[in-house]
Amino acid sequence: MRTFVMGLGEKPFRADQVRRWLYERGATSFGEMSDLPASFRARLAEVATIGTLVVDDEIASRDGTIKRLYRLPEGQAIESVLMPYDDGRRTACISSQAGCAMGCVFCATGQMGFARHLSADEIVEQATRFSRELQARGERLSNVVLMGMGEPFHNYDAVLVAIRRLMSDLGIGARHITVSTVGLVPKILDFAKEGLQVTLAISLHAATDEARDRLLPVNRRYPLAALMSACRTYADATRRRITFEWALIAGRNDDVRTAETLGRLLSGLPCHVNLIPLNPTRGYDGAPTALPQADQFVATLARFGVPATVRVRRGIDIDAGCGQLQSVVEKRRAAASAP
């Protein structure tokens, strides 16, 4: 910011003024920045914009969840979600890529294929927009999870810049930021050296290589032994508990024996397992696990000293699982255009 502002012939302190307007006061135009000289505001309007993402569609859930579709300049779409909780938390789930190259079979984003990486600006803008809207009604963005479209560690450099900006520009504490990966082992080891106290989440979903190979193709390159070794290195370096994400798929990975295998795999590792009843997509025929079976899975993991909870599913009436907004938009538009 300072380099940009000084390049326009202004004093460095003007950058701090602009930053406050953008991230503390929620300005949506340069004209609102009343303590800047009129000539500087006019110059900013000529050479810069506040954000580049264009809202293409938005859906609100009965539980207050908002899911938004942005159209990129090249025509690709990305999505982000704002989830309100009864305890006052306001969590933004944001994307790091348009599409995804990882090919996880139950994920709608993986079924789309990869389009391009997002820039750090595009990643941060998703959270910034939610932050401004919350500020306007006397609330604040408290948490950010990079669990939207894309594999964050496939876009490592931009994501790292974005994480630092979420902390510095939006004031989100490191421990209130979560970054999720399907298990890119070299990047997990790199991330362990960054000195950040953010939460690392691993999309696990299976406890044997045979089962994980079927769900997550990345496992053929980085099998469970390598992944678990990297996780232990990360936990030792950061002293942070790792979150493991597990989509509960009825009849496939939700039985007691699977829970026991998972318990043995994670035993002794500082971690927590988030159990997520599968949100089905058109490209995968799995169904979500019923709550009694999910509770049994939790109880089985507890026998191995592995804590787990069944995640509260938000925005189910709008298909608010990662990667599902576009299918909803397509259905709505098809219905609107039908004779």
Residues 5, 67 within the same domain: no
pTM for the structure as a whole: 0.87
- Could you report the per-residue pLDDT of 190-236, keeping only the tens digit for each? 999 999 999 999 999 999 999 999 999 999 999 999 999 999 999 99
Mapped to the 3 state alphabet, what secondary structure does 117-159 carry? ECCHHHHHHHHHHHHHHHHHCCCCCCEEEECCCCCHHHHHHHH
Q: Give the 3-state secondary structure of residue 162.
A: helix
Does residue 298 share a domain with residue 153?
A: yes
**Both tokens assigned to 140:** 């604040």
Pick the more confident residue, 16 or 145: 145
CATH code assigned at 20: 1.10.150.530
pLDDT, tens digit (0-9, with 9 covering 90-100), for 228-271: 999 999 999 999 999 999 999 999 999 999 999 999 999 999 99
- Residues sharing a CB contact under 8 Å with residue 141, sequence separation 6 or more, in sequence order: 90, 91, 92, 127, 130, 131, 134, 170, 172
Match 């510095």 to its residue by tokens. 168
Q: What are the pLDDT digits (tens) for 89-107?
A: 999 999 999 999 999 888 8
Q: Are residues 162 and 25 in the same domain?
A: no
Query: Looking at the structure, do residues 31 and 153 belong to the same domain, yes or no?
Result: no
Tell me, what CATH number does 121's domain have? 3.20.20.70
Per the structure, the count of domains in the chain is: 2
My answer on whether 56 and 35 are in the same domain is no
Angle, CA 71 vertex, CA 70 and CA 74 arms, to 5°:
150
pLDDT at 313: 62
Whether residues 317 and 215 share a domain: the answer is yes
One domain for residues 140 and 273: yes
Q: Which domain covers residue 57, as residue numbers? A: 52-337
Residues 6+ apart with CB under 8 A from 72: 53, 78, 98, 116, 122
Give yes or no for residue 117 having a pLDDT over 90: yes
**Does residue 84 register a pLDDT over 90?**
yes
Question: Under DSSP, is residue 103 helix (H, G, I), strand (E, B) or coil?
Answer: coil
Same structural domain, 167 and 268:
yes
58 and 177 both lie in a single domain: yes
Same structural domain for residues 18 and 161? no
CA distance 15 to 1: 6
- Catalytic residue numbers read 79, 322
Q: Let me know whether 85 and 25 are in one domain.
A: no
Q: From residue 265, how far is each of 35, 189, 214, 269, 312 by CA, in Å?
A: 58, 19, 18, 9, 25
Residue that wins the pLDDT comparison between 36 and 250: 250
**Angle (CA) 182 185 72, round 5°:** 50
For residues 147 and 130, state if they share a domain: yes
